[in-house]
Amino acid sequence: MLDTHGRKYVQPFIEKTADFFLKLGLSANQVTVLGFIIGVSSGIFIYFGYTFLAVFILWFSGFIDAVDGTMARKTKPSSWGTLLDITFDRLVEISVILGLAFRYTNSMWALLLLSVSIIFAMTVFLTVGALSEKNGIKSFYYQAGLAERTEGFILFSLMMIFTDYLTVITMIFFAIELFTTFQRLLEAKRLLK
């Protein structure tokens, strides 16, 4: 929801950063890889107890993720770049979940349920994107929903900072993911007749 409705407020800064990277001679795919390397380290920092560094790294990687897409649209978007972007996004999320699961083993069951809900959500999201004839600003049909990447980052941040409530926050995240998935399924039913 925040990605869909709030992007316009941060897009000017994303544009300037994209232009800066393009002037340096970097490609969108190179920035995607850079964002992935930065983002996946977040799980390592969580595991070793560097909470605020992990949160900062996660958000910085999310910013880089927005920049690479803008760079691609300014040059030549590729299907390979889209695949890298979506795959690396999930691997960053997995690193956060694994970092939390191995550091806070008593919440592992809730983190496992969250992982299942993310897999379910992404299956619906990507399948609708592949089957839909609609196009958007991205290289596939982007289905808006209650939980988008920014909401996920907010919830991951809360999970990392308020670890005494890790299980509760994880289950709230789980419920939001399920709600969003069913929201997208209902939209898909209308789109894919």
Domain ranges of the chain: 2-191
Backbone φ and ψ of 61, nearest 5°: -65, -35
Residue 107, classed as helix, strand or coil, is helix
pLDDT, residue 191, reads 79
pLDDT, residue 149, reads 84
The shares of helix, strand and coil residues in the chain, as percent rounded to the nearest 5, are 85, 0, 15
pLDDT, residue 120, reads 93
pLDDT digit string, tens, across residues 19-36: 999 999 999 999 999 999
pLDDT digit string, tens, across residues 60-96: 999 999 999 999 999 988 889 988 999 999 999 999 9
Residue 102, classed as helix, strand or coil, is helix
Q: Is 5 exposed, middle or buried (0-12, 13-18, 19+ CB in 10 A)?
A: exposed
pLDDT, residue 135, reads 56
pLDDT, residue 4, reads 62
Q: May I ask the CATH architecture of the domain 2-191?
A: Up-down Bundle (1.20)
Please enumerate in sequence order all residues whose Cβ is within 8 A of that of 86, keeping only pairs 6 or more positions apart, or say none.
126
Dig out the tokens for 189 from the structure.
Answer: 């039913």
Sites in the chain below the pLDDT cut of 70: 1-6, 133-144
User: Cβ atoms within 10 A of the Cβ of 114, count?
Assistant: 27
pLDDT, residue 190, reads 84
